[in-house]
Amino acid sequence: MTERLQVYKCDLCGNIVEVIHVGAGELVCCGAPMKLQVENTVDAAKEKHVPVIEKVAGGFKVKVGSVPHPMEEKHYIEWIELIADGKAYRQFLQPGQAPEATFEIKADGVTAREYCNLHGLWKA
Protein backbone atom coordinates (compact mmCIF):
# COMPACT_ATOMS: atom_id res chain seq x y z
CA MET A 1 0.00 0.00 0.00
CA THR A 2 1.27 3.45 -0.84
CA GLU A 3 1.55 6.44 1.47
CA ARG A 4 0.87 10.08 0.70
CA LEU A 5 3.91 11.94 -0.74
CA GLN A 6 5.89 8.78 -1.46
CA VAL A 7 7.93 9.01 -4.67
CA TYR A 8 8.09 6.12 -7.16
CA LYS A 9 10.23 5.65 -10.27
CA CYS A 10 9.95 3.39 -13.30
CA ASP A 11 13.26 1.61 -13.85
CA LEU A 12 12.41 1.12 -17.53
CA CYS A 13 11.44 4.58 -18.79
CA GLY A 14 12.39 6.86 -15.89
CA ASN A 15 8.88 8.20 -15.13
CA ILE A 16 8.64 9.58 -11.58
CA VAL A 17 5.37 9.96 -9.67
CA GLU A 18 4.45 11.26 -6.23
CA VAL A 19 1.45 9.79 -4.41
CA ILE A 20 -1.17 12.47 -3.78
CA HIS A 21 -4.08 10.11 -3.10
CA VAL A 22 -3.52 6.79 -1.33
CA GLY A 23 -5.06 3.72 -2.92
CA ALA A 24 -4.78 -0.02 -2.46
CA GLY A 25 -3.42 -0.79 -5.93
CA GLU A 26 0.16 -1.24 -7.09
CA LEU A 27 1.84 1.51 -9.09
CA VAL A 28 2.83 0.08 -12.48
CA CYS A 29 4.59 1.65 -15.46
CA CYS A 30 5.79 -0.01 -18.68
CA GLY A 31 4.17 -3.24 -17.45
CA ALA A 32 6.37 -3.44 -14.34
CA PRO A 33 5.95 -2.34 -10.71
CA MET A 34 7.38 1.09 -9.99
CA LYS A 35 10.18 1.29 -7.42
CA LEU A 36 9.71 3.26 -4.19
CA GLN A 37 12.41 5.91 -3.84
CA VAL A 38 13.65 5.78 -0.24
CA GLU A 39 15.30 8.99 0.95
CA ASN A 40 19.04 9.12 1.72
CA THR A 41 19.79 5.51 0.77
CA VAL A 42 21.98 5.86 -2.33
CA ASP A 43 25.71 5.57 -1.73
CA ALA A 44 26.68 9.13 -2.66
CA ALA A 45 28.27 12.17 -1.06
CA LYS A 46 25.86 13.27 1.66
CA GLU A 47 27.46 16.73 1.83
CA LYS A 48 26.31 17.34 -1.77
CA HIS A 49 22.81 15.87 -1.46
CA VAL A 50 21.17 16.43 1.93
CA PRO A 51 19.04 19.59 1.76
CA VAL A 52 19.91 22.46 4.09
CA ILE A 53 16.90 24.48 5.29
CA GLU A 54 17.34 28.12 6.27
CA LYS A 55 14.61 30.35 7.74
CA VAL A 56 14.63 33.66 5.83
CA ALA A 57 12.43 36.75 5.83
CA GLY A 58 9.06 35.67 4.48
CA GLY A 59 9.74 31.95 4.31
CA PHE A 60 12.43 29.32 3.83
CA LYS A 61 15.43 28.85 1.58
CA VAL A 62 16.54 25.32 0.74
CA LYS A 63 20.04 24.71 -0.58
CA VAL A 64 21.10 21.30 -1.80
CA GLY A 65 24.09 20.18 0.20
CA SER A 66 26.47 21.86 2.60
CA VAL A 67 28.78 21.77 -0.44
CA PRO A 68 26.89 22.97 -3.56
CA HIS A 69 25.63 20.14 -5.76
CA PRO A 70 26.75 20.11 -9.43
CA MET A 71 24.19 21.41 -11.90
CA GLU A 72 25.52 19.94 -15.16
CA GLU A 73 23.61 18.41 -18.09
CA LYS A 74 24.43 14.87 -16.96
CA HIS A 75 24.21 15.43 -13.18
CA TYR A 76 21.83 17.88 -11.59
CA ILE A 77 19.01 18.42 -9.10
CA GLU A 78 15.66 18.01 -10.86
CA TRP A 79 13.51 19.49 -8.09
CA ILE A 80 13.42 20.73 -4.52
CA GLU A 81 10.32 20.22 -2.39
CA LEU A 82 9.33 21.82 0.90
CA ILE A 83 6.70 20.06 3.02
CA ALA A 84 4.92 22.20 5.61
CA ASP A 85 1.63 21.83 7.46
CA GLY A 86 0.42 19.00 5.23
CA LYS A 87 1.21 20.86 2.00
CA ALA A 88 3.97 20.23 -0.53
CA TYR A 89 5.66 23.05 -2.46
CA ARG A 90 8.01 22.20 -5.34
CA GLN A 91 10.50 24.15 -7.45
CA PHE A 92 11.80 22.49 -10.63
CA LEU A 93 15.40 23.19 -11.63
CA GLN A 94 17.46 22.97 -14.81
CA PRO A 95 21.17 22.40 -15.41
CA GLY A 96 23.08 25.65 -14.93
CA GLN A 97 20.76 26.98 -12.23
CA ALA A 98 21.80 27.26 -8.59
CA PRO A 99 20.83 24.15 -6.55
CA GLU A 100 18.52 26.12 -4.26
CA ALA A 101 14.95 27.36 -3.95
CA THR A 102 13.10 29.91 -1.84
CA PHE A 103 9.57 29.23 -0.64
CA GLU A 104 7.55 32.21 0.58
CA ILE A 105 5.35 30.51 3.17
CA LYS A 106 4.65 30.77 6.87
CA ALA A 107 5.07 27.53 8.81
CA ASP A 108 6.53 26.25 12.04
CA GLY A 109 7.94 22.84 11.18
CA VAL A 110 9.14 22.02 7.68
CA THR A 111 11.01 19.24 5.93
CA ALA A 112 12.74 19.39 2.56
CA ARG A 113 13.43 16.84 -0.15
CA GLU A 114 15.34 17.01 -3.39
CA TYR A 115 15.74 14.68 -6.33
CA CYS A 116 19.12 14.18 -8.00
CA ASN A 117 18.89 12.68 -11.49
CA LEU A 118 21.74 10.26 -10.68
CA HIS A 119 21.51 9.68 -6.92
CA GLY A 120 17.79 9.79 -6.22
CA LEU A 121 15.75 11.23 -3.39
CA TRP A 122 17.23 13.00 -0.35
CA LYS A 123 15.53 14.49 2.71
CA ALA A 124 16.34 16.83 5.60
CA dihedral 123, 115, 61, 84 (to 10 degrees): -60
How many other β-carbons are positioned within 10 Å of the β-carbon of residue 34? Answer: 20
Give the residue with greater pLDDT, 68 vs 61.
Answer: 61
Determine if residue 85 is labeled as part of a ligand binding site. no
The chain-wide mean pLDDT, for the chain, equals 94
| Residue 41 in this model has a pLDDT that exceeds 90 | no
Q: What is the pLDDT of residues 14-33, one digit of tens each?
A: 999 999 999 989 999 999 99
Q: What is the pLDDT of residues 65-91, one digit of tens each?
A: 999 999 999 999 999 999 999 899 999
Determine if residue 73 is labeled as part of a ligand binding site. no
Determine if residue 10 is labeled as part of a ligand binding site. yes
Determine if residue 116 is labeled as part of a ligand binding site. yes
Determine if residue 21 is labeled as part of a ligand binding site. no
Residue partners of 80: CB distance under 8 A and separation at least 6: 51, 62, 64, 90, 91, 93, 99, 100, 101, 112, 113, 114
Determine if residue 49 is labeled as part of a ligand binding site. yes
Domains, the chain, in order of start with CATH, read 7-36 (2.20.28.100), 46-123 (2.60.40.730)
Tell me the pairing of strands 28-29 and 32-33. Answer: antiparallel
